[in-house]
Amino acid sequence: MRQINNPPNPYSRFSAEYVGEPPPTKLEVYEETATKKVITKAFASDWEGGWRYTVNCYRGCIHGCTYCFARQYHEYLGYGAGTDFETKIVVKPNTPQLLREELKKTWDKMPHLDFSFATDPYLPLEAEYQLTRKCLEVCAEFRVPVAVITKSALVTRDVDILKRLARVSVFFSLPFLTKERSNPFEPYTPVPEARFRAMKLLSDEGIQTGIGIAPVIPGYNEADIPGLLERAKECGAQRAFMSMLHIDTDSIEEYFVQRMTDRLSPTRVAKIINTMKRERGGTLRHRT
């Protein structure tokens, strides 16, 4: 059971602190119909070419990865970067229609589209809403190259559309080799082996796959990297990228450290924090 736990929102004048035990969280799904634009241009230093053109059909992420840099975006909506990010999910049901309208004007200038930057395109809700699937159909229609990055095996549902795309790569985010290693940081994601099985299925279908070892957490998962690359190779992966843990706000730092403290031994927590500070000039923050 998750209890409500949100660091103070820097964009809000007020914050709540519970006296005694916080209440349990509950999943809340909201549909946003005021969206006017769905293609976002974002800079990512760990991404090929630097600039990413992304589509996010959802806001927030049920997977609840404690290290996720996108938690800060929930604060712009007036929510918290902690459990609110994991349980208050905003769905944008008109994304496929808006994507079609935007691509009518820009398809010939669009080098690629990424699904997604600030959420996982294959959240459990995608099984019902099918927004990512419908967006991929639009991309196939306009022959726009696509990159998908996900932690979910649900992507295998869309093999038929992925094979119709002009060019596609599907990256599986896999920072940890085993369930035991991943649980402290990604407690609600599919286990690593399920992601590897999905990778192999897509590879066997002739779809280019890759592994994203992100984040690398200093003092924790560096030793997993050789095994992850070897396992990905066995599953047909042709590409790989890595990036270091990215912490750049107070709220993300507070939540990451608190959850890590809840789930790991004091010795392990101290090792991670000390290693990060040693490598980052005395801070946990990301250094570009």
- What would the pLDDT profile of 14-40 be if each residue is shown by its tens digit? 766 666 677 788 999 999 988 889 999
Stretch 106-125: mean pLDDT, rounded?
Answer: 91
pLDDT (tens digit, 9 = 90+) per residue, 119-133? Answer: 999 999 999 999 999
Task: Check residue 145 and give its pLDDT.
Answer: 95
Q: Taking the C-alpha atoms of 120, 122, 126 and 130 in order, what is their torsion angle to the nearest 10 degrees?
A: 110
Rounded to an integer, what distance in angstroms lies between the CA atom of residue 147 and that of residue 120? 13
Q: Are 67 and 244 in contact (CB under 8 A)?
A: no
Range with the poorest average pLDDT among 2-6, 47-51, 84-88, 128-132: 47-51
Rounded to an integer, what distance in angstroms lies between the CA atom of residue 275 and that of residue 92? 40
Alpha helix positions (H), the chain: 71-75, 83-87, 95-106, 126-129, 131-142, 159-162, 179-182, 192-204, 225-234, 250-263, 266-279
- Cβ burial of 278 (10 Å; 0-12, 13-18, 19+) is exposed
Q: Taking the C-alpha atoms of 175, 122, 31 and 93 in order, what is their torsion angle to the nearest 10 degrees?
A: 140
Q: Which one-letter amino acid corresponds to residue 9?
A: N
pLDDT (tens digit, 9 = 90+) per residue, 191-200? Answer: 999 999 999 9
Q: Report the predicted TM-score, pTM, of the whole model to 2 decimal places.
A: 0.93
**How many residues comprise the chain?**
288
Rounded to an integer, what distance in angstroms lies between the CA atom of residue 149 and that of residue 63? 14
Task: Check residue 46 and give its pLDDT.
Answer: 57
Q: What percent of the chain has pLDDT over 90?
A: 80
Rounded to an integer, what distance in angstroms lies between the CA atom of residue 139 and that of residue 116? 14
Pairing mode of beta strands 88-91, 28-31: parallel
For residue 116, whether the previous peptide bond is cis, meaning omega lies within 30 degrees of 0, is yes
Go through the domains of the chain in sequence order and give each one's CATH number.
28-279 (3.80.30.30)
